[in-house]
Structure 1
Amino acid sequence: MTPSTGSAGPSTGSSAGAPRSVLLAEVARATQRLADAGVPSPRHDAEELAAFVHETDRARLHLVADPDFDARYWEAIARREAREPLQHITGRAWFRYLELRVGPGVFVPRPETESVVGWAIDAVRAMDVAEPLVVDLCTGSGAIALALAQEVPRARVHAVELDERAVGWARRNIASIPEGTRVTLHHGNALTALPELNGRVDLVISNPPYIPLTEWEHVAPEARDHDPQLALFSGEDGLDTIRGLERAAHRLLRPGGVVVVEHADSQGGQVPWLFPEDRGWADAADHPDLNNRPRFATARRVGH
């Protein structure tokens, strides 16, 4: 999307004694520019970028006085207007109770994945296991692995990622929180990794690539042009990686262990069928996200 050619500078008509006029007026103008560019959440992003540039938070924007207006705000707005992800501009992403470092080369965690992790956390807490053993396949930034380590205090988490640049981001995030000491990062193929854990794992979780190759032109520019292709696309129907994850999860899980796999809402009803009873699975089911759209599938490993 070509950025707007409208004015990129601050207004000059602020009146004395109105310390909130300039910044909030510029946020309003920025909101319109982002909306015209097709940004899905223009007001939120305009405010978030203003808070980032002025080193405050959105709730305190009204406290930024006129003389403190930073012209770098318009540089940030131009980048977002061109559909560069908000998180690449700020260098951070929020995920559950975590602040993660993200940027070019790593998939930006999405809010819908938080409900996937919430289900997994509840499932692990319900297990009668003193120190749950968890594997996060296709970890990307490490968001899922770190959330599980943080919210299940005795869990030991192994995170696997193939892309070298993403591994670098995950390594930084793991080092940034105390619970990261219980996360072991592995640079390797999620489908063949960790044979030493075969039959021992309590929970396998993954947010894998699941977009069909045929949908390339319909993917939002923020993802298509900035997220790693390896983290997005997976065969003609988008399910190639999930088919491989079914075999990997079956190999890794102990009897009674659980697999949790995110998928596209359009794939609701398809993914549970990839975990059939005749291959050692039970209770395969789909679950909705907070918008009541099918978002992830779960199944329980049975047999020996």
Structure 2
Amino acid sequence: MNASFKYIFDKLSTAYPEREARAIARLVLETRFGLTQVDICMGRERTFSLEERRDLENIVKRLSQKEPVQYVLGQADFCGRTFSVAPGVLVPRPETEELAEWIIRDEKASEFSSPHILDIGTGSGCIAITLSQELPQAQVSAIDISPQALAIARENAECLGVAVNFRCQDILDSPSKEQDSPLWDIIVSNPPYICEHEREDMEENVLRYEPSQALFVPDHDPLLFYRAIGEYAVKMLKEGGRLYMEINRAYGRETARLFQHLGLRDIIVRKDLYGNERMVRCRK
């Protein structure tokens, strides 16, 4: 066994299940130190400089404290691209990739030749930037309440060579007041949707390190952001425009009923790869 892999695995095996500890060890060695899976499996060794050894020790220390490996390495993959991430933004999830891929498939089959797209609560910018790259004729804008998140999103857009119009805006502060006429062909959002009472079922690394502002809504109003974004969409989507949102799997029917009540139509709730109701699409 590769010595550096064994070192990381042994340090993490008390804090993580065996399979997860192995996966993290491989990811660290591949991402930060350039060892391939073949190198690791074949037991090939490499010499670490003093600086690299210190870096490895710091990485293992942070991981042992259950800090997400994406934050420790400063990056996460999303739809085949690498994004910078830090504790000020959520770590991109596979189900959010499914949401972005749904939009891309729909748009490539639609009549919009140069769609205007808004991503609400952009975080790292992963959705907005992916759509901008996959739909090069689109004009993509993105908002977030967090200046820290917007700084990371702008960095990602620059590194990946796309032009996205980022701005600081709280969707709960009725941004539709700024305009008198519809702006958008597509609105997309992965808003906060986890109720406070669900904390007890969540992983420690998420609760300790990922931004609560991007995760949680009050127990008494689990559809807070869906109502605000739905109302905004009714006003600011162009006729025939589409709204896509990631949802709490426990509130699929309630979310659909809310959008129907607001006057949106052709509502589809879609399950993710794990069989959970995780996405909704509707049309103005």
> Is the TM value for this pair above 0.5?
yes
* Change beyond 3 A, Cα 1:229–1:28: closer
Larger radius of gyration: 1
Q: Which residue of 1 aligns with 2:56?
A: 73
Query: Which residue matches 1:42?
Result: 21
Q: Which moved more, 1:145-154 or 1:193-202?
A: 193-202
Residue of structure 2 equivalent to 1:211:
194
Conserved? CA contact 1:265–1:294, under 8 Å? yes
Given that 2:144 and 2:169 are in contact with CA atoms closer than 8 Å, whether structure 1 keeps it comes out as yes
1:293 Cα offset (Å): 1.3
Q: Is the CA contact (8 Å cut-off) linking 2:118 and 2:186 kept in structure 1?
A: yes
Partner of 1:120: 103
Could you say which structure has the higher helix fraction?
A: 2
How far apart, CA to CA, are the structure 2 residues paired with 1:42 and 1:215?
A: 26
Q: Which amino acid is 2:205 matched to? A: E
Q: Is it true that 1:285 corresponds to 2:264 in the alignment?
A: no
2:227 to 234, 243, 251: 243
Provide the rounded CA distance (Å) in 1 between the counterparts of 2:180 and 2:9.
Answer: 54
The structural deviation recorded for 1:60 is 4.3
Q: TM-score, normalised by structure 1?
A: 0.83
Secondary structure class of the residue paired with 1:284: strand
What TM-score, normalized to structure 2?
0.89
1:123-159 Cα shifts (integer Å, max 9, x gaps): 2222212211111000011000001011111111110
What letter corresponds to residue 255 of structure 1 in structure 2?
E
In the TM superposition, 1:81-230 aligns within 5 A as 81-178=64-161, 180-181=162-163, 183-191=164-172, 192-193=174-175, 195-196=178-179, 198-230=181-213
In 2, Cα distance between the equivalents of 1:22 and 1:101?
Answer: 29
* Cα 1:137/1:67, change in 2 over 3 Å: closer
Task: Name the SS for the 1:106 alignment partner.
Answer: coil
In the aligned structure 2, how far is the partner of 1:149 from the partner of 1:85? 27
* Pair 1:253 & 2:234 matched: no
Tell me which residue corresponds to 2:254.
270
Deviation (angstroms), 1:168? 0.9
**Residues 1:219 and 1:177: Cα distance change in structure 2 (over 3 Å):** same
String of CA shifts for 1:242-265, please: whole Å, max 9, x gaps: 111111111221111110110122
Deviates more, 1:117-126 or 1:24-33: 24-33
Q: In structure 1, give the amino acid aligned to 2:277.
A: P
Given residue 31 of structure 2, which amino acid in structure 1 is its aligned partner?
F
- Corresponding residue SS for 1:202: strand
- Structure 1 pair 295/187, CA: closer, same or farther in 2 (3 Å)? same
Asked if the contact 1:48/1:58 (under 8 Å) is kept, the reply is no
Distance in 2 between the 1:59 and 1:120 partners? 36
Post-superposition offset of 1:85: 0.9
Identical-residue share of aligned pairs (%): 27
Q: Does 1:33 align with 2:17?
A: no
* Greater alpha carbon shift after TM alignment, 223-232 vs 205-214: 223-232
In 1, Cα distance between equivalents of 2:103 and 2:29: 35
**What 5-or-longer segments of structure 2 have no aligned partner?**
none
Cα deviation, 1:204-239, whole Å, max 9, x if unaligned, reads 100000011222333222222111111011121532
Shift of 1:165: 0.9
1:27, 1:50 within 8 Å by CA — same for their partners in 2? no
State the Cα distance separating 1:33 from its structure 2 match.
3.2
For residues 63 and 193 of structure 1, what CA distance do their matches in structure 2 show? 57
- TM-fit CA distance, 1:285: 2.1
Structure 1 unpaired stretches of 5+: 1-19
Letter aligned with residue 26 of structure 1: Y
In 1: Cα distance, 2:278 partner to 2:12 partner: 30
Q: Aligned partners of 1:89 and 1:225: how far apart in 2?
A: 14
SS at match of 2:239: strand
Structure 1 vs Structure 2 CA RMSD = 2.3
Count of matched residue positions in the alignment of Structure 1 and Structure 2: 277
Contact 1:199 1:253 in 2 (8 A): yes
